[in-house]
Amino acid sequence: MIEIKEWTWEPIRKRDMASKTITCPYCGVRVQAGSTTRIVDTVTGAIKYQIHKCPECFMPVIIGLDGKIIPQSQLLPYEDVRFLPANVEKLYNECRKCFLNECYHSVIMVSRTLLMYIAVDKGADAGKTFAEYINYLETNGFIGSQNKAWVDKIRKIGNKYTHEMGMATQEDADKVIVFIKQLLGNLYEMPHLAEEEEA
The structure's pTM equals: 0.70
Contact 33, 52 (CB under 8 A): yes
Predicted local distance difference test score (pLDDT) of residue 2:
53
Mean pLDDT calculated for residue range 160-165 = 82
Which ranges of the chain would DSSP assign to H, the alpha helix? 86-100, 104-121, 130-139, 145-163, 170-184, 190-198
93: buried, middle or exposed (CB in 10 Å: 19+, 13-18, 0-12)?
middle
Strand partners, 62: 51, 70
Contact 92, 184 (CB under 8 A): yes
Q: For residue 3, is pLDDT > 60? A: no
Q: For residue 1, is pLDDT > 80? A: no
* Residue 199 banded pLDDT, cuts 50, 70, 90: low
pLDDT tens-digit profile of 113-150?
A: 999 999 999 999 999 999 899 999 999 999 887 778 88
Predicted local distance difference test score (pLDDT) of residue 55:
94
Predicted local distance difference test score (pLDDT) of residue 101:
85
